[in-house]
Amino acid sequence: MKKLLLFLCGLCILLPLGMLVLYAFAGRWPWPALFPESFSAARLYDTLDGSTLSVLLRSIGSSFLSALLSTLVAAPAARAIACYHFPGKRIIRALLLAPVLLPSTAYFVGLQTLFTRLGIIDTTLAVILSHAIVILPYGVWTLTDVMNSVGLGLEEQARSLGASPFSALATVTLPLLLPALVSVTALGFVISFGQYFLTLMIGGGRVRTFAMLAVPYIQGGDRQLSALYSLIFVGISAGIYSLFGGIMARHYKDAAAIGKGAM
């Protein structure tokens, strides 16, 4: 039963991906053939021309910055929520989760108004900030649970052994939080990379991200082009996630070789 469920889950993921690959790299595919007669990567090279590649690289950079910024805000917020008692804690927690609790259109209009007043609307900075805000709740949610389990006990122990507050944080808490911080950043990247409507509202069409280029093609009638853009989309997201996963696996492999670099 378990194997059957796994097989069905795998099929649900692999079947659409397989279709995308077939469409993307089909050379000659006359009707009513079930599979293409030949395959070609020529359209991929055409798609990734100079300007598209530059937009793709800029999108990767801005999504990474949004994710990093969001994690930098989410980590201390999650720590405060998980480990300290203070007045208004529930309100602050609700506010931090607002970007996913409120209807997104209303929220985006609010952001647009704010950035217009700040004079940064239609800029890359505004897009990065708006993406970071949208990612924030996911980071706070995930990291609050992790902070709850790590707690302040080990830091207290480190302080009693002569560590300053910064040293205790850097040598005890941060290494323990690292896997969660990396996962949250990777998740944030994927969410930011896929933002279309928000980027359009805040960037005003002047800030071009890969999602802005891809969505019209995906919605258009050219199946091969839409399949190629979709594959690049999936490939970048999966690639970044795997990259972060690989970094962590290597980190733990080194740690398991013990000594763990502290001595």
Partner 1 sequence: MLELRNLILAYGKQIVLQALDVSIEDREFFSLLGRSGCGKTTLIKAIAGLHPLAGGSILLNGKDTAGLPPEKRNTAVLFQDIRLFPHLSVEDNVAYGLRMQGMPRKERRRKAGGMLEAVGLSGMEKRPVDALSGGQQQRVALARALILRPAILLLDEPFSSLDMDLRRAMRDLLKGLHTNLGLTTLLVTHDIGEAMLLSDRIAILDTERLVCCDTPGALLNKPEAAPYLEAWRKDLEDQQRLL
Residues of this chain that bind partner 1 (CB under 8 A): 153-154, 156-164, 167, 171-172, 175-176, 255-256, 258-260, 262-263
Residues sharing a CB contact under 8 Å with residue 241, sequence separation 6 or more, in sequence order = 186, 189, 190
**Residues 227 and 23 sit within 8 Å (Cβ to Cβ):** yes
Question: Cβ 87 to partner 1, closest distance in Å?
Answer: 12
Question: Cβ 248 to partner 1, closest distance in Å?
Answer: 13
In the complex with partner 1, the residue whose CB is nearer, 8 or 257, is: 257
In the complex with partner 1, the residue whose CB is nearer, 104 or 157, is: 157
Amino acid (1-letter code) at residue 213? L
Q: How far is CA 181 from CA 94, 138, 142, 172, 192, in A?
A: 21, 12, 9, 14, 16
Question: Cβ 104 to partner 1, closest distance in Å?
Answer: 39
In the complex with partner 1, the residue whose CB is nearer, 175 or 204, is: 175
Residues sharing a CB contact under 8 Å with residue 146, sequence separation 6 or more, in sequence order = 78, 177, 180
- State whether residue 177 is helix, strand or coil: helix
In the complex with partner 1, the residue whose CB is nearer, 59 or 173, is: 173
Question: Cβ 177 to partner 1, closest distance in Å?
Answer: 10
In the complex with partner 1, the residue whose CB is nearer, 197 or 252, is: 252
Supply the DSSP string of 50-61, one letter for each residue: HHHHHHHHHHHH
Question: Cβ 175 to partner 1, closest distance in Å?
Answer: 5
Question: Cβ 250 to partner 1, closest distance in Å?
Answer: 15
- State whether residue 39 is helix, strand or coil: strand
**Residues 37 and 30 sit within 8 Å (Cβ to Cβ):** yes
Nearest in space to 193 (alpha carbons), one of 180, 206, 212, 179: 212
In the complex with partner 1, the residue whose CB is nearer, 51 or 148, is: 148
Q: Which two tokens stand for residue 217?
A: 């093609």
